[in-house]
Chain A
Amino acid sequence: MSLLAEGFLSTVALTLLSFAGAFSLGVCVVVLRVVPVPVLRAVGTAYVETFQNVPLLVWLVLFVFGLPEAGITFPLFWTAALVISLYEAAYVAEALRSGVNSVARGQGEAARALGLTTAQSLRHVVVPQALRRVVQPVANIAIALTMATSLAGAVGVVELTRAANRINLDLAQPVLVFAGAGLCYLGLAAGIGALAGLVERRVAH
């Protein structure tokens, strides 16, 4: 049972780290995608397309087994966290971008007409409205990310799913073990949902 607890903690740590990474990186990428500099836009678009169109497991395998061949080695857990961050950042960026796009054009134009600079109109008018609309989509990404951390188990990180599997091979009590692991994931998702509700109320003045 202690292995299951260890796996659970590992999943939580992976989720928190990867989400923090994915969110910060996603903000950077979405900035790249909206600035009026064509080169940066192209970089942002290429990033999103590359990471969204190749399976996470391929990235994990490439980074965990491939990159050491090129002399790039990190501890396994950190490699997994890095790859999941890179991958989910593309989704975060897309969610943030559609949030910004969903703010009516007239809002930005009105702010500009009032004499605010581009940066000011973004900060005081567009972003606060966009923020409210992205809480739910970002929470959904966080839940998807929690599920995605299970793939780290496929390349060797002992997280919840891999721990459950290993315990089952020892104890041969599949129903208990896998139902327990499933409940843990449900609990995590419920926690994220509740947190998102709190955040939503905070940002919706």
Chain B
Amino acid sequence: MFDPPGPRARRRTRVVTAVSLVVVGALVALAVRQFADNGQLNPDRWRPYLTWPMWRYLLIGLRATVLAAVATGVLAMAGGLLLAVTRSRIARAYVEVMRTVPVLLIIYVMLFVLPSYGLDLPLFWKLVVPLALSHAALYAGIFRAGVAAVDRGQREAGLSLGMTERQALRAVVLPQAVRNMAPSLVSQTVGLLKDTALGYVVSYTELLHSGRVLANYNHLLIQTYIVIAVVYLAVNLALSQLSRYLEVSLARTAR
């Protein structure tokens, strides 16, 4: 979109770079001073997170997060596929409603309403079921768009080669659809992994709730939650990177 910079633009770039480095530096310095003034940078407050028992506890929490995410992902994808292929009015209404009702509301129903009607699931499922109900609608949208993005001629070509409807779907349309969908499926899964943090509300000891338990015990609130944020960041960045890699490599093989 931009022309290669001439001498004047290069000079301007240098000036803006210098100014923005100063601004960013000043902001960081301000934050560091605020933390330091309140003793939050005291090494004693950070050292616990250099020890193995702390990390072991957090990694157990991370494992629970991954477990919940995998269970939710499997259920939600199956549900999403079902919603996408039935295309009935009920399925469409379900997708619309779930796109606008917060998961937390469903979780509260799960936690405080259903037990009095005799449905009292284990904590793990109290987190997973609402998440799956909600994310199924999101996956359905991705599946539908993925199949719709495959040119109609592809299916027709399959049929004209003598394939049955089902064969054309399985051998021609779906492989191309999956290729289209792979990146958005992965990035949707990042969203799902982030939503498992609602385990905090359910008291299911995934990563964030583990952090809360730790913070209540060692009173290192800022340190604990920053460490937790960094762990989420690392895991999700890896997933996002995978999504970007899929996007690029699939775009190449599709040619």
Binding site for B on A (CB under 8 A): 34-40, 43, 49-50, 52-59, 61-62, 65-67, 69-72, 105, 108, 112, 118, 126, 143, 146-148, 150-151, 153-154, 161, 164-165, 168-169, 172, 174, 178, 181-182, 185-186, 188-189
Contact = CB atoms under 8 A, between A and B. Distances in A.
Contact of A54 (B109, B201, B229): B229
Given A57-B198, A61-B225, A70-B38, A174 B112 contact: yes
Contact of A70 (B21, B24, B40, B100): B40
B124 interface: no
B104 A150 contact: yes
Contacts of A66: 221-222, 225-226
A40 B104 contact: no
A55 B112 contact: no
B225 A40 contact: no
Interface in B88-137: 97, 99-105, 108-109, 112-113, 116
Contacts of A49: 233, 237, 240
A105 B212 CA distance: 49
B17 A39 contact: yes
Contacts of B248: none
B34 interface: yes
A161 B104 contact: yes
A185 B102 contact: yes
Interface residues of B, number: 51
A43 B222 CA distance: 23
A122 B116 CA distance: 59
B247 interface: no
A189 B100 CA distance: 6
B232 interface: yes
B46 interface: no
Interface residues of A, dominant DSSP: helix
14 contacts: A38-B17, A43-B24, A52-B190, A61-B211, A61-B225, A70-B40, A143-B100, A148-B102, A150-B104, A154-B201, A174-B112, A178-B109, A185-B100, A188-B100
Nearest to A172: B116
Interface string B207-240: 0100110010000011001101100110011001
Contacts of B34: 70-72
Contacts of A153: 104
B102 A161 contact: yes
B100 A146 contact: yes
Given A37-B16, A69-B222, 11 more contacts: A35-B16, A39-B16, A53-B232, A54-B232, A57-B208, A69-B40, A70-B35, A70-B38, A147-B100, A151-B104, A161-B104
A58 B225 contact: yes
Contact of B105 (A143, A148, A182): A182
Nearest to A71: B38
Contacts of B201: 154
Contacts of B229: 54, 58-59, 62
B3 A189 contact: no
A139 B196 CA distance: 25
A177 to B, nearest CB: 9
Nearest to B13: A37
Contacts of A165: 108, 112
B153 to A, nearest CB: 24
Nearest to B17: A39
